Chain A
Amino acid sequence: MAAPAYPAWVTRWVSGQWRNKKRPPTLRPPRALALADKVANRREQSTEATCITEMSVMMACWKQNDFNDTPCAEEIRMFYDCVAKAEKERKNQNEDTLSSRGNLPSSKVNKLLKRFPQITRYV
């Protein structure tokens, strides 16, 4: 709705008529003065890469041993363990709870708001 019809006292109050001399309304709210049922789409900050330290340790070992796998078996095993752990965590994390940074992605927020919309009128 472009310019919803407000009762006259709203427009007068918004224009500040009761405070100043009568002036034409300075504010003409173009949209409804109520919370919308959705938030703006925000680019979700991507999570960091996992297992970087293990990978760099393994690569350092490779550089020393001319990329043979047998002397670096311990580092490779640690890298595999880290990767398996990260994969399991990714599978286990429930998407409906807060992410590691404490944010909910905007799509999920919109879904929740749609279920519990803002009541604009009473019947």
Chain B
Amino acid sequence: APSAAGLGRRLRAWLPRIMPVRWSRYNPSYLEPEVKKEAYQKPLEELTEEEREQMELKAVRPIKAAPPTLSSSVFSDPMISKFTNMMMKSGNKVLARSLMSQTLEAIKRKQLEKYHKAPENEKETIECNPYVIFHQALKNCQPIIGLSNITRGGKTYQVPVPLTDNRKRFLAMKWLITECRDNKHRRTMMPEKLSQELLLAFKNEGPVIKRKHVLHKMAEANRAYAHFRWW
């Protein structure tokens, strides 16, 4: 009887292009697509030298297909897309996107309620744009310094280490989502929990900001080990 490994190998040789891999299968000559409309509306004279060269290069090189998440609409926001993807479970993008839109709606409703109840002089201070609140809340939640495990002489130390921008954004989003999923009442809906957390983070209060402060305090306590870093 043919072995499973032999069959697999032969199948892989027969289907050279359909094997799933984690990296990109594009030829290196393929360029990224430009989706922003503003880039194409600029008149030719305004372009700088390197932009002109880039345009000439794009005329001769093939372009990668734009992924479905990349959109040229004015309403698309890469941070919101990233957050939606992180909220998504088992590939249910429809549900994640609807939850995200319901969250933004809930934020808007809460802020409008506050706006209409507020006295005249305070009305300008209340921020009603849910996108602005989302971005500011994420920025407030981002840790500035992280901890990494470094082993020296058999013992593992928590060493304070600067984080990259991607890592900071990821941690902020992850903390928000886990906080909403774990530490709330079982029957509250996700948009409600998320909108509450985002509004608290916008004002620099709430459990996510506290978690960030705890991380900073631990980094400050371990600052003696900072020399263990080699980068």
The chain A residues found within 8 Å of chain B, CB to CB, are 46-52, 55-56, 58-59, 62-63, 67-70, 76, 79, 83, 86, 90
**Interface-centre pick from A48, A55, A76, A79 (highest chain B CB count, 10 A):** A55
Q: Is B220 among interface residues, defined by CB-CB distance under 8 A? A: yes
Does B62 touch A at the CB level, under 8 Å? no
Question: Chain A nearest CB: distance from B79 CB in Å?
Answer: 19
**Are B227 and A55 neighbours in the complex by a CB distance under 8 Å?**
no
A49 and B144 within 8 A (CB): no
A63-B220, A76-B144, A79-B144 known; A52-B231 Cβ under 8 A? no
For residue B219, which residues in chain A have a CB less than 8 angstroms away from its CB? 59
Residue in contact with B230 in the complex, picked from A46, A55, A63, A70, CB distance below 8 Å? A46
Total B residues in contact with A, Cβ cutoff 8 Å: 18
- CB-defined contacts of B147 to chain A, threshold 8 Å: none
Choose among A46, A52, A63 the residue that contacts B226 (Cβ–Cβ < 8 A).
A52
- Chain A to chain B contacts (Cβ below 8 Å), 15 pairs: A46-B230, A47-B230, A48-B230, A49-B228, A49-B229, A49-B231, A50-B229, A59-B219, A62-B220, A67-B213, A67-B217, A69-B140, A69-B144, A79-B145, A79-B162
Determine the chain B residues whose CB is within 8 A of the CB of A50 once the complex forms: 229, 231
Chain B stretch 179-231: residues in CB contact (< 8 A) with chain A: 204, 213, 216-217, 219-220, 223, 226-231
Q: Is the CB of B231 within 8 A of A55?
A: no
Residues of chain B whose beta carbon lies under 8 Å from any beta carbon of chain A: 140, 144-145, 160, 162, 204, 213, 216-217, 219-220, 223, 226-231
Q: Which residues of B contact A49 (CB under 8 A)?
A: 226-231
Contact at A55–B223, with CB atoms within 8 Å? yes
**Cα–Cα, bound, A47→B162 (Å):** 16
- State the CA gap A70–B204 with chains docked (Å): 10
Are B230 and A59 in contact (CB-based, < 8 A)? no
**Which residues from B are CB-within-8-Å of A51?**
162
In the A-B complex, the 7 residue pairs with the closest CB atoms: A49-B229, A46-B230, A83-B162, A59-B220, A67-B213, A67-B216, A52-B226
Assuming the contacts A55-B223, A76-B144, A79-B162, asked whether A62 and B216 have C-beta atoms less than 8 A apart, the reply is yes
Q: In chain A, what residue has the closest Cβ to B164?
A: A87
Complex CA–CA separation, A52 to B220 (angstroms): 12
Which chain A residue shows the least CB distance to B220?
A59
